[in-house]
Amino acid sequence: MKLLFVVDPLVGLKHYKDSSVAMMRAAAARGHEVSAAEARQLYVADGLARTACEALEVRAGHDWYRVAETNDRMLKDFDAVVMRTDPPVDTDYLLATHLLGVAEANGARVLNRPACLRDFNEKLAIFNFPQFVAPTLVSADAADIGDFLAEHHDIIVKPLTEMGGSGVFRLTLADPNRNAILETLTRRGRRVIMAQRYLPEIRDGDKRILLIDGEVVPWALARIPLAGETRGNLAAGGTGRAQPLSARDREIAETIAPWAQARGIFLAGLDVIGDCLTEINVTSPTGFQEIAAQTEHDVAAQFIAALERA
């Protein structure tokens, strides 16, 4: 297969951590051609979606890639275009999904589908499965959020477009900074945010559960917060611990998997704290390398095998 990965700049990817690197290594190991481009390199000419891209030689180790040649190609000439640009889901990101939508109309196979990347906000998507969701409020009104805090006493507030724990705060009634935090996050009532009841099970980890083309990866990556920290995100200093899925984890994953597959969400990362679903990540789910390093399950190889079947 000829595969194009739309990623953040290659020089910034971590060879030991980034799932995109694991995907490209697995693809090369199975004999596929690997190319990479940044979202800013996508364009449309004469109605055809194209990109400047780099054909890569991918290998193990710190020096994990070499640019073999640079090209300018139509996206429909690739067997699959894998969108892996990290959030924030800002105007530039949304415009990239529109360009990828043109590519899809041209006949390209884009994963995840561009419409899904636009339509399924990673925080709001949980409302498709209310049976798994802790008490949650989405609002720009600080008074409403204050009432929610008064009801639940201990809450998490977060923006709807960020990743890696960015902008996530824990608020209690005794917090003297709560008004300033809410003013900042809501931009003084101009931007909606999410508030969720604090889940003390975070001490056991914010579990990342991966779905690949309707299949549930049998290992979760529990991201354990640092001492004194609320966020388990690896980007916020959390420690990743691979562990088998619990019965509740599997119930959540197996309920969501066919829903995701039917909508063109080839890869999803579910975030579960305790028994509650907190996010459905569809932009650039991670955890591949940590799970593979701690278990015998090669998630990247599973991903590429699923691409081959598709």
Residues labelled as active-site residues: 123, 158, 208, 223, 231, 271, 279, 281
Scanning the structure block, which residue is given the tokens 């990109």? 51
Query: What separation in angstroms does the CA of 165 have from each of 9, 59, 87, 207, 277?
Result: 21, 31, 12, 14, 16
Dist. CA 227–CA 287, nearest whole Å: 21
3-state secondary structure of 24: helix
Q: What are phi and psi of 87, to 5 degrees?
A: -60, 170
Give the number of other Cβ atoms within 10 Å of residue 17's Cβ: 18
Beta strands in the chain (DSSP E): 2-6, 33-37, 42-45, 48-58, 65-74, 80-83, 110-111, 136-139, 154-158, 169-172, 193-197, 206-212, 215-216, 219-224, 239-244, 267-273, 276-281
Nearest 5°: phi and psi at 42?
-75, 140
Q: 104 vs 98, 122, 291, 298, 300, CA distance in Å? A: 10, 22, 32, 29, 24
Q: Look-up: residue for tokens 């190319």?
A: 35
